[in-house]
Amino acid sequence: MSLESEMDGRLGIVDGADGTFYVDPDEETLAEMKKRQEEDLSRKQLLLTLKGKENVTLDGQKVMLYANIGNIKDLATVIQNDAGGIGLFRSEFIYLEKEDFPTEEEQFQIYRQVAQTMAGKRVIIRTLDIGADKQCDYFHMEHEENPALGCRAIRICLTRPEIFKTQLRALFRASAFGKIAIMYPMITSVQEVRKIKEIVEEVKAELTSQGVEFGNPEQGIMIETPAAAIISDDLAKEVDFFSIGTNDLSQYTMAIDRQNPQLDLFFDPHHPAVLRMISLVMENAHKAGIWAGICGELGADQSLTKEFLAMGVDELSVSPGSILSLRKIILETNVTDYKAGKEC
């Protein structure tokens, strides 16, 4: 007897929380699953009432809640979940989905569509972040023993400026059609940022000489290495904003490969060293008068939301489905009281 014929007509339930599949569940299990389903629907209906509300704590601290996306297909869920903007558009997926380098025009059309769809809301586009766990054959990159510490992200852009310039031209052109901001990944030094600025000025000069219209986008960097976190006071003088990539920051701080499941036992995203670095970055950003947010997985960790608010986080960028849940916590939190409680 085939598995299909054996299962045909039998009652099955999937627990969406942990992926468990129950076949012919007993009455107790069935009742529990129905109860959880009803509770989940009630939570979702409650969250829908939060649409359109400002992200302000009980004591008046405002936070920007943005969405992380990988392509333009995600825009519908961004709007559906009432995101205030896009905090991370992973532009590398434009490259990963093609068999050859995307042209300036191809990229421009995508960036412009995102900017226009978001209708004046901030759209932060991360420049090419190929390398490490995201490989692209047509880049013809040499084999590396440890690609996470190798030629990736901004290192590719600065050593292969022709690729970088093509993307920058598309981004600056698209910035004339909406509130685009540009974010550079894997920064470790002030020198890298200054080199980026030189290339940006070259691109702007080229566009100007060609009579091509472009805007004046904000330019920021990702803080995802301990080096960047430690010198964030110096980096803050060079850019318009910080966005903390907690996935890589955690990996590099704890010297743990987050792609290796054998090390899960040792990986602690709540490690005090990681949280202290995040706090330091927030402090240094505000001293320099720029804003700072979080776009890594920790941004959606609801057990840390109040802690991030206490640090003074300006923005949290998460998957679209997490936005309303975070808004609920923000609206119910008194940051002053939370800080006072920690000091007791």
- Give yes or no: residues 29 and 177 share one domain: no
User: How far is it, in rounded angstroms, from Cα 140 to Cα 138?
Assistant: 5
- Give yes or no: residues 32 and 66 share one domain: no
Supply angle C-alpha 122, 125, 131, rounded to 5. 160
User: How far is it, in rounded angstroms, from Cα 218 to Cα 202?
Assistant: 17
286-332: per-residue pLDDT in tens?
A: 999 999 999 989 999 999 999 999 999 999 999 999 999 999 999 99
Render each residue's pLDDT in the chain as its tens digit; 344 residues: 455 566 676 777 787 766 787 787 888 877 777 777 766 776 677 677 889 999 999 999 999 999 999 999 999 999 999 999 999 999 988 888 888 889 999 999 999 999 999 999 999 999 998 765 666 676 667 776 776 776 778 998 999 999 999 999 999 999 999 999 999 999 999 999 999 999 999 999 999 999 999 999 999 999 999 999 999 999 999 999 999 999 999 999 999 988 888 998 999 989 999 999 999 999 999 999 999 999 989 999 999 999 999 999 999 999 999 999 999 999 999 999 999 988 76
- Give yes or no: residues 320 and 227 share one domain: yes
- Give yes or no: residues 40 and 86 share one domain: no
Q: Which of 160, 208, 156 is nearest to 186 (CA)?
A: 156
- Give yes or no: residues 16 and 152 share one domain: no
- Give yes or no: residues 27 and 159 share one domain: no
SS3 call for 26: coil
Residues in the chain: 344
- Give yes or no: residues 65 and 165 share one domain: yes
Domain of 10? 1-49
Give the global pTM: 0.86
Q: What is the DSSP letter of 142?
A: P
Q: What is the crossing angle of helices 190-209 and 161-174, to 10°?
A: 60
- Give yes or no: residues 45 and 65 share one domain: no
- Give yes or no: residues 37 and 69 share one domain: no
SS3 call for 91: coil
83-109: per-residue pLDDT in tens?
A: 999 999 999 888 888 888 899 999 999
| Residue found under tokens 């699953």 | 33
| Residue found under tokens 């001293």 | 287
In this structure, what token pair is assigned to residue 164? 């970088």
Q: Which residues contact 238 (CB under 8 A, 6 or more apart)?
A: 190, 193, 194, 197
How many separate domains does the chain show?
2
